[in-house]
Structure 1
Amino acid sequence: MTGKAFAAGVKAVLRAAVVVLIAALLGVAMTRNPLRLPGVVAVPLGPAFRARPRERSRTMNRAGVSARWGGRGETFTPPITIRAPPPEVSCMTINRRTLLRSAALAATTGALGLAASGAPASAAPDRLVHRPTNKWMSLLGDNVKLSQLTIPGTHETCALYDGGAFGYAQCQEWRIPQQLQAGVRFLDIRCRVMGDVFTIHHDKIYQKINFGDVLNQCIDFLKSNPRETIIMRIRKEYTEGQDYRFSEIFNYYMDGMDGKGNYRPWFWLPRAGSLPEGLPTLGQVRGKIIPIMSDFTWGDGRYDPLRWGDGSRIWLQDYFGDGSSQKVQRVKWGLDQAFYGQDDGKLYIHFASASSFPEDPYKIAKVVNPSIQDYLTPRISQRAHYGVIAMDFVDERKDLLQMIVDWNFGL
């Protein structure tokens, strides 16, 4: 043992004495576990038995290079940055000093028998905390805008019946009450003019439910969950022309004419000329249905609802002629657009549905829906919002619905 090594050993003993003294002053008991006692000696006396200076220098250089390569080699699926990194994301650079400091702290803690407190040792949770899907909006603040949410939705919400279309007309298994309980807050309602009522269709196939039934089911849910809101696309389906007639019947539903219920109080309908810049906050629409008018012009001069083609407030991906592989790429592209448009105040609406022979909606959903989860999973630590994600056969991916709901709360 050289003189330098002996001197280092003396310093180490003095350090150990200081550690014991500090522990006594703080009231921290030394461990009595014999398996940990060697650590009390090994940590402070280590410098006395180190390698020769040249070998030590080479070892530490290798460690430094390895640490730098390790930091650079971490993989992350793009997009990898957001304008305002959340506090959970650490931008710390790993270097040799950081590694040595962490190792010394860990060894000292083990030697003293100290137990870590608070969060687990992992740097960040590997999954989101589950929220109740039937009332998840009620847990968010009133000042949160609609454009700042990630919302589960369904395409062809009421299309439960195939009607001999060889699998190409059915898009869902769950009825509206089940969908709402599972967290769905965007409904795609297709109305056909039949006499003086709206029947719900997928193209020419009647889905054995009328518009009044849809509204009653939504209102029952809102009565039980008054701090939730429902976004409803109302589209004219299998009805050529008749724009005036369609608007007239819609007014019947709003004002309770011809024996229909008075549904207007349940709708968020801003006065003409008063539609707010961007989109409303949750506090403005709780307990309401937010209609988005599609493929027909409605207005009685008093109200000015959201409209499907309003590019200043709505960004839309609704391409339905893709096969499964093309649709996967299109959905991912749309989610990327939402990521980079975090501050534009628009509601992004992504349809994950498609139908292209020989793939029917069910076959495509079996491929596309899991790909959405694959897209979101590596981005959990990013506090991005993606808008509406409207899917087919959501009953088969309850975990995906839960994930989208939880997304609004971060880690």
Structure 2
Amino acid sequence: MSRQISDQDLSEWQRQIGDDVAISKLSLPGTHNSAASHLSLFSVKCQGAPITEQLNHGVRFLDIRVSTPFFNDPKGWFGKNKKDLQVIHGQFPVKLPTPVKLHGVLDEVYGFLEKHPSESVIVSIKSEGRDKWEGQDFPNLIWDEYVSPKQDKWYLSPSIPRMGECRGKVILFRRFGVDDSKKNSYGIDASWWQYNTTMDDRGNYVVQDWCEVMKKDDINTKSQYVKDHLSRAIEYNSTDSQNPKLYVNFCSGANFFDPDCWPKKVASGLTSLKIEDNYGKGCGIVVLDYIERENWKEVKTLVSTNY
């Protein structure tokens, strides 16, 4: 570790990053299914700490998947209408018996940034589960209900920002398509990459998201794909390229039917295979499950590479 990082450092670690540094040049701790930290199915839960605690401990990329309410509940516990999106993992709510709502997650992010205006948080939003959206219904809902009312709190350019452009802002990492007329004002377009990819280069972002960890031995394979992608990011970001790329490296994978391949077991397996030994300056967005383990050790290691 190039420097010792305290918990206080983690809450405002981007304060030390120059305004002219593109966020793609950073090592950014992220969480997979970030809000899945509550009582739920064992195969659904992915984190042991809630959103605000993650942010206070240095996480700067949140992965949020949403769906319309599962139940028609007139009291509003589960969402009164289709606009009140809830957070899910695959087909299942991330909290039982009542849901986590997208409004609540975003309010936590806004609250964190108000207290720590030197920081910026990338929020990935994706529709998942049983919904069948027509045309532009989903992007219109996200814009009208969630982004537009708080537009001053968002960085919505499609280009990768420098720190001076996005401090105190939520950067939208948009995992859904929009009409061409909206693409210049609706966040970073990350609407598609190949499923189960070991490396998919989409121009302004490059993804490793090999997730089919079907048996325990596949954790070794997953580890190698993570390490390979870390090396690609570090190599690219060590150059003076004028074409910034976000390297996004998902360390998650699971098999619903095999307890040895549930998120916590995969996360522990990757730790034992020492993926953090491959962290280095400019290794991109590293998206982890159970990121709080070992007193946030991997976050501290990632953040330290930026200095």
TM range (shorter): 0.7 to 0.9
Quick one: percent identity of the two aligned structures?
A: 25
Query: 2-side partners of 1:186 and 1:228: how far apart?
Result: 12
The structural deviation recorded for 1:311 is 1.3
Query: 2-side partners of 1:234 and 1:220: how far apart?
Result: 18
1:305 and 2:203 matched = no
Query: 2-side partners of 1:263 and 1:222: how far apart?
Result: 13
Query: 2-side partners of 1:181 and 1:255: how far apart?
Result: 23
1:187 and 2:62 matched = yes
1:372 maps to which of 250, 262, 275: 275
- Unmatched 5+ stretches in structure 1: 1-125, 257-261
Aligned residue number for residue 205 of structure 1: 92
Change (3 A) 1:307 1:160: same
Aligned residue number for residue 293 of structure 1: 174
Map 1:84-103 to 2 at 5 A: none
The structural deviation recorded for 1:303 is 1.4
Aligned residue number for residue 195 of structure 2: none
The structural deviation recorded for 1:255 is 6.1
SS at match of 1:348: strand
Aligned residue number for residue 196 of structure 2: none
Higher helix proportion, which one? Answer: 1
Q: Is this contact kept in 1: 2:139–2:176, CA < 8 A?
A: no
Query: 2-side partners of 1:399 and 1:333: how far apart?
Result: 21
Query: 1-side partners of 2:179 and 2:103: how far apart?
Result: 18
Q: Is this contact kept in 2: 1:291–1:305, CA < 8 A?
A: yes
Aligned residue number for residue 15 of structure 1: none
Aligned residue number for residue 264 of structure 2: 362
Q: Is this contact kept in 1: 2:153–2:168, CA < 8 A?
A: yes
Aligned residue number for residue 350 of structure 1: 249
Letter in 1 for 2:40: G
Q: Is this contact kept in 2: 1:243–1:296, CA < 8 A?
A: no
Aligned residue number for residue 107 of structure 2: 216
Change (3 A) 1:298 1:213: farther
Structure-1-length-normalised TM-score: 0.61
Query: 1-side partners of 2:142 and 2:164: how far apart?
Result: 26
SS at match of 1:263: helix
Aligned residue number for residue 149 of structure 1: 26
Letter in 1 for 2:62: L
The structural deviation recorded for 1:340 is 2.2
Q: Is this contact kept in 2: 1:162–1:168, CA < 8 A?
A: no
Q: Is this contact kept in 2: 1:369–1:391, CA < 8 A?
A: no
Map 1:163-312 to 2 at 5 A: 163-164=40-41, 167-194=42-69, 195-207=82-94, 208-238=99-129, 239-254=131-146, 262-270=149-157, 275-276=158-159, 279-297=160-178, 301=182, 303-308=185-190, 309=192, 311-312=202-203
The structural deviation recorded for 1:162 is 5.9
Aligned residue number for residue 76 of structure 2: none
Deviates further, 394-403 or 178-187: 394-403
Aligned residue number for residue 336 of structure 1: 231
SS at match of 2:249: strand
The structural deviation recorded for 1:296 is 3.6
Structure-2-length-normalised TM-score: 0.80
Deviations 1:164-188 (A, max 9, x none): 4xx2111011110000011000000
Give the aligned CA root-mean-square deviation in angstroms. 2.0
Runs of 4+ in 1 over 4 A off after TM superposition: none
SS at match of 1:385: coil
Q: Is this contact kept in 2: 1:193–1:246, CA < 8 A?
A: no
Q: Is this contact kept in 2: 1:236–1:296, CA < 8 A?
A: no
Query: 2-side partners of 1:298 and 1:247: how far apart?
Result: 9
Matched residue count: 265
1:393 maps to which of 279, 290, 294: 290
Change (3 A) 1:298 1:226: farther
Change (3 A) 1:265 1:230: same
Query: 2-side partners of 1:297 and 1:199: how far apart?
Result: 21
The structural deviation recorded for 1:161 is 4.0
The structural deviation recorded for 1:231 is 0.5
Aligned residue number for residue 83 of structure 1: none
Letter in 2 for 1:232: V
Change (3 A) 1:254 1:362: closer
Query: 1-side partners of 2:179 and 2:46: how far apart?
Result: 27
Greater gyration radius = 1
Map 1:9-24 to 2 at 5 A: none
Query: 2-side partners of 1:255 and 1:141: how far apart?
Result: 27
